[in-house]
Structure 1
Amino acid sequence: MSKILITGGAGYIGSMLCTKLLQEGHSVTAVDLLKYDKGSLNHLYFNKKFKLICDDIRKVSLMKKLIRQHDIIIPLAALVGAPLCEKFKKDALSTNLGSIKTLCKLATKKNKIIYLTTNSGYGIGEKNKYCDENSPLKPISLYGRTKCDGEDLVKSKIKNFVCFRLATVFGHSYRMRSDLLVNNFVYTTVKKKKLTLFEPHFRRNFIHVRDVVNAIIFTMKNFNKMKNNVYNLGLSSANISKIMLAKKIKNQYKKLQIKIVKNRKDPDKRDYFVSNKKIEKKGFKAKISLEEGI
């Protein structure tokens, strides 16, 4: 079994990943500042193979010690999303990018790095074309730029890596996020029974958080055939527009009212469909449907 280091281990993906890896028998060290939810890892504290370090991953001395002690490193710690990164630009750069620079300097040949970036780097895609791993990256936010730059660093500096460009994640986690599009639509539906959409034709790809975790574990088990490559990671049946997503929610919440506002622009300009064929050819396919997640 592997010794695994997860930065941002108490977060939306991290808390689910720590749980699953421990169930698989691995030893897991999570590093997290615990800014948002101090309880997302409570269920793991009595597991002898789990260790939580409440500290800042931007500390070089800390990371130098931890990287040497672990086989697999999964750097999840980041300021996530365009609004948060615009609000805290300095922290976004030092956490999303600076910490990856440190990782690239300190990682050794024995370390395997699984780096999660975002498919929002595709920005605005062509109307009738799917973005694949060879499509140009045109991030339209500071968040997207930091993650694309981090991917470039990992590809150029790390000996053994796998990079995932994640679709928009959805589903229940020990540390919930209601700002993610599907989660936000469902939360708003339950609370207000009404959804107001701007530019409802905007397209996106989605993936359940449990499928993200399963893809990471699949990669660990099949690292040699996966390594030194970049993969889009999404649910292929979930390339849909915002209005299509709203209608899927309405199928389960019949009282939902959908209002489309035609004279307002959505501040989130991302608009693209994504191909997940590359990773599917390697043997992994996301399975959890939008309907199940909703």
Structure 2
Amino acid sequence: MRYDDTKKILVTGGAGFLGSHLCERLLADGHEVLCVDNFYTGTRRNIAHLLGNPRFEILRHDVTFPLYVEVDEIYNLACPASPVHYQFDPVQTTKTSVIGAINMLGLAKRLRIKVFQASTSEVYGDPEVHPQVEEYVGHVNPIGFRSCYDEGKRCAETLFFDYRRQHNLPIKVVRIFNTYGPRMHPNDGRVVSNLIMQALRGDEITLYGDGEQTRSFCYVSDLIEGFVRLMDSGPEVTGPINIGNPNEFTIRDLAHMVIELTDSRSRITHRPLPPDDPRQRRPDIGKAKALLDWEPTVQLREGLERTIAYFRTTL
């Protein structure tokens, strides 16, 4: 039993891009953090600066196996999130989403604690509703190359809400829209890291399709703020809640901004659009504003400048 406001918080996927920023934030808020990661896509480099903190603990573990620990809250972020990584071993990707969710829900049920699920805007698939609201049930191919991730996350959401209905488990589900910032893996295949690395190296800038498909880019610190506000909200706020930046850009616009900010001489080339690649993506964040008093504060140009500065250090 604890006699102060300090919590011991489990973060699965804690050595990943988002997980490391979340661990950092929770420590800054005065909590103890148990970072769990199998280091498939996460790296020790992301959390090296936290290792000397006496309130930080790291455990190598795969969430597809049960975990027996004593904690006060769970953030479940474990899952490869970029196409390059989640398509490398699609069966394991689905297992991580589904079995990982079952194991974290089981742990939360045993401990009677809140559990947070990092879901994704990919549950909307190639949307026919724009911008995407949480009530939209999506337009997803269940047997395509992206299905291991899309459907895995959709099934995880199903499990979370069934645990709430069947066991009255306190849950929080967030749907993450495109997020970027320092500690992104330079070769993860996501559009922001791809374009920045190509521009810094002077390589050709690769756009898929005509470059007119749209995305909405949320800086990592804004996303983490949304995570914490959702977790700290009342029991009636379960989600799913969209967390993302509602400002919409074409990929071509993004490429030109990256070229300008890196002062690159790279030229733009085009390749065929991958299967099931969404043509448009933009969150409706009305619920986040109303229920969490949250909206992003870092806009694209400022966020890209910070991210480019980080990637320069990795070259």
TM-score when scaled to structure 2?
0.83
Q: Return the offset for 1:258.
A: 4.7
Deviations 1:13-66 (A, max 9, x none): 111111111111001101112244233222112211111111222222xx2x22
Q: Which stretch shows the higher mean deviation, 6-15 or 103-112?
A: 103-112
**Could you say which residue in structure 2 is the equivalent of 1:86?**
87
**Could you say which residue in structure 2 is the equivalent of 1:292?**
302
Mapped partners of 2:279, 2:256: distance in 1? 18
Q: Which stretch shows the higher mean deviation, 85-94 or 112-121?
A: 85-94
8 Å Cα contact 2:63-2:103 kept in structure 1:
no
Give the unaligned 5+ runs of structure 2.
Answer: 1-5, 305-315
- Residue type of the partner of 2:212? H
Equivalent position to 2:224, from 188, 210, 213: 213
Mapped partners of 2:131, 2:40: distance in 1? 37
User: What secondary structure does 1:182 align onto?
Assistant: helix
Mapped partners of 1:58, 1:144: distance in 2? 18
**Could you say which residue in structure 2 is the equivalent of 1:235?**
245
Percent of aligned pairs with the same amino acid:
22
Mapped partners of 1:189, 1:50: distance in 2? 36
Mapped partners of 2:236, 2:300: distance in 1? 27
Mapped partners of 1:53, 1:89: distance in 2? 24
8 Å Cα contact 2:186-2:194 kept in structure 1:
no
Q: Return the offset for 1:145.
A: 0.8
- Residue type of the partner of 1:206? F
Q: Return the offset for 1:264.
A: 2.8
Equivalent position to 1:49, from 47, 50, 55: 55
**Could you say which residue in structure 2 is the equivalent of 1:203?**
214
Equivalent position to 1:173, from 159, 167, 183: 183
User: What secondary structure does 1:235 align onto?
Assistant: coil
Mapped partners of 1:131, 1:148: distance in 2? 15
1:161 counterpart = 2:171: yes
Deviations 1:74-123 (A, max 9, x none): 01111223343333122112211111122223322731111111101212
8 Å Cα contact 1:197-1:243 kept in structure 2:
yes
Mapped partners of 1:80, 1:255: distance in 2? 28
Equivalent position to 1:250, from 251, 259, 269: 259
Cα separation, partners in 2 of 1:115 and 1:197, compared to 1, 3 Å: same
Q: Return the offset for 1:11.
A: 0.7
Equivalent position to 1:144, from 107, 131, 150: 150
Mapped partners of 1:59, 1:47: distance in 2? 27
Give the unaligned 5+ runs of structure 1.
Answer: none
User: What secondary structure does 1:248 align onto?
Assistant: helix
